[in-house]
Structure 1
């Protein structure tokens, strides 16, 4: 059986996976949703991007997990991608859920040529944190009003340093066994860097007809995809 280690994107904590976890456990797998430092129940913990990478690696090593399926949603794809190469043969597969992917020497905001100023401006205005989105920002993402309320009320400011520090990779990301989940309501095509990675024989693309937060909008379908990735290895 696989051990799923899951990290959600900006502003979210382990709670974001609450509706996905039961489906994975019912299939007999281990589940380890993480709250990254500085977020949710770990607010107040200083965090840069390397902290988030170590959050993931440290949990895997602490629990001595094997057959790990690492899951990163949105921003969390950046620390998850770095953690994946650091855990060696403990890794079965990485699943990037509509996520950013790390590039050596590049940060989260590096991939935002049009939005970088917006993100950095928010960080400057909010004492080093990126302020969470408001309810209207979730329109058109396949979410119910109740789901949007749940995300908005559960979100916490995101540590800015994790978004501006560069990633560190020791080998090409395309060498890792990976599944990329593209959520089509958030755009019909993956970003250009992901398109390049998908040319690798080790990567595959799966599409979901929902928005950027599938753990809320389509948790059972997302769980089905994750279970398929575990079998694929």
Structure 2
């Protein structure tokens, strides 16, 4: 059985996986939802980007996990992609769920249309944090009003340094065994950097007909995809 390490995106904590976890556990997989430093119940802990990378590596090594399927959603693809190469033979596969992917020497915000100018300004105006998003941000993603409320209640401001500091990769990301799950509702095509990685023989693409938060909008379907990936 696989050990799933589940890491949610910006502003979220391990709670975001609450509806996915039971499906994986019922199939006798190990399930390790992880809250990154500075978020949710870890709010107040200092966090830089490499802190988040070490959070993930520390979970894998501290729990002595093998056959790890490392799952990163949205922002967390940045630290997950870096952690994946650092856990060595413990890694079975890395899964990017509608996620950003790290590029050596580039920060998370570099892929934004304005190069991150507006986000940097927002972080500066909010005491070094990226503020929580309004309800309108989650519209059009297949979420119910109740699910949107749950995200809003559970969200915490995101430590800004994790978004603006550059990633550090020791090898090309395309060398890792990886699956990219593209959520096609509203944004059907992978970004250019992901499309390039998908040309690697080590990468595969899976599409989900839902929005950017499938762990909430389609938890059973996402869990089944993850189990199918682990079974290969």
Structure 1 residue 113: Cα displacement: 2.7
| 1:203 matches 2:206 | no
Match for residue 172 of structure 1? 172
| Unaligned stretches of 5+ residues in structure 2 | none
Match for residue 118 of structure 1? 118
CA RMSD of aligned residues (A): 0.8
SS in 1 for 2:212: coil
| 1:99 matches 2:99 | yes
Instruction: Report how many residues are paired.
Output: 232
Match for residue 190 of structure 1? 190
- Listed one character per residue, the Cα deviations across residues 23-43 of structure 1 (whole Å, up to 9, x for unaligned) are 000111000000000000000
Q: CA separation in 1, counterparts of 2:184 and 2:121?
A: 28
Taking structure 2 as the reference length, the TM-score comes to: 0.99
* 1:1-233 mapped onto 2 (5 Å cutoff): 1-114=1-114, 116-232=116-232
Taking structure 1 as the reference length, the TM-score comes to: 0.98
Structure 1 residue 122: Cα displacement: 1.3
SS in 1 for 2:150: helix
Which structure 1 residue ranges, 4+ long, deviate > 4 Å from structure 2? none
Q: CA separation in 1, counterparts of 2:157 and 2:64?
A: 31
Structure 1 residue 119: Cα displacement: 1.2
Structure 1 residue 186: Cα displacement: 4.0
Structure 1 residue 136: Cα displacement: 1.1
